[in-house]
Structure 1
Amino acid sequence: MIRFFDFVFSLIGLLLSLPLLSVVVIIGFFDTGSPIFRQQRVGRYRQPFTLVKFRTMKKDTASVASHLASKDAITRFGRFLRRSKLDELPQLWNVLTGEMSLVGPRPCLFSQEKLISEREIRNVYDSRPGITGLAQINDIDMSTPRLLAETDAKLLAELNVRNYFHYIVMTLLGKGSGDRVKG
């Protein structure tokens, strides 16, 4: 049932946000010269997939988890995209294609070995990664691997249609601050 909702909502979201996506791409060209950001992430069953987002950091920024990146790497437009969570919109494509869900554990980088290990212990990789979830609305990010993995496991154990919609609504209402970047 959740996959059905993922498909329908991501398709509708992409169609309705197409004008906004176009504007962000145009502004992004002026901001960084390359508005779309693609990165290999750990997906379901630890399979790699290419996550798609709007670029919020300078083009030459090292590919590290957000909590390890420098605040200076974020562009002014990127700050706006992160605050408004518009940088996540292109991930609706990942949801539409079945690589992600709207609700689930945020996909990490393959270099985040501690988090991968903690998630494996808790069978988190048996599910699709998501755009939002329990950890995101509670400001738990990838800088605390064990807590994040425990929260992800709790999310998955308690995930039902009601919670699915709850996490989406809480995210749309601005709950959670997104990925932290060091000062």
Structure 2
Amino acid sequence: VYAAAAQFSPQGNFTPTQGSPREIFVLLRGNEQTPDMQEGVVGPSAVASLAPAVHRVELPPDHNEAQRRAALAAWIVDRDNPLTWRSIVNRVWHYHFGQGIVDSPNDFGRMGTRPTHPQLLDWLAAEFRDNGQSFKNVHRLIVTSAVYRQSSQSNEQSAKIVAGNQLLWRMHRRKMEAEGA
């Protein structure tokens, strides 16, 4: 990619802009025609609903667009930002079990569902982060677990306690992919 990119000059929508960015306001009900003038200009920072106060990105207003993008990227992959690591391992879990620990893998926010096993999610996220972000290690942890090796046979007693198998008392039946045959 870098070798090919060296032959082209930066053009298009993805080049950093020169000068200061335009002023941005809170939009009433999301309508760009009705900015909230009482709130005033919104300064650069992380989205408040995504980041607790400890993990916010604070930027001076004179940073250009490239510096802001770099700060956002650094915030996303920061070791202390748990959302990234939880989201990644939840998707790996979803791949293996057909449902994530958080059943809404695209929404970890207020509109999403709560994790069925929050301690497991946090532990897997910490293992992923602390072991060099190794997907191979996370896959190995999951496929060698007792949960993954369970039978798919139904058990009436367990079905009465937890209908729908949200707590994974048995393995879901799955179609085998062509690569697995």
Measured against the shorter chain, the TM-score band is under 0.3
Largest Rg, 1 or 2: 2
Which one has a larger percent helix, Structure 1 or Structure 2? 1
Q: TM-score, normalization: structure 2?
A: 0.27
Which one has a larger percent strand, Structure 1 or Structure 2? 1
**Higher RCO, 1 vs 2 (CA within 8 Å, ≥6 residues apart):** 1
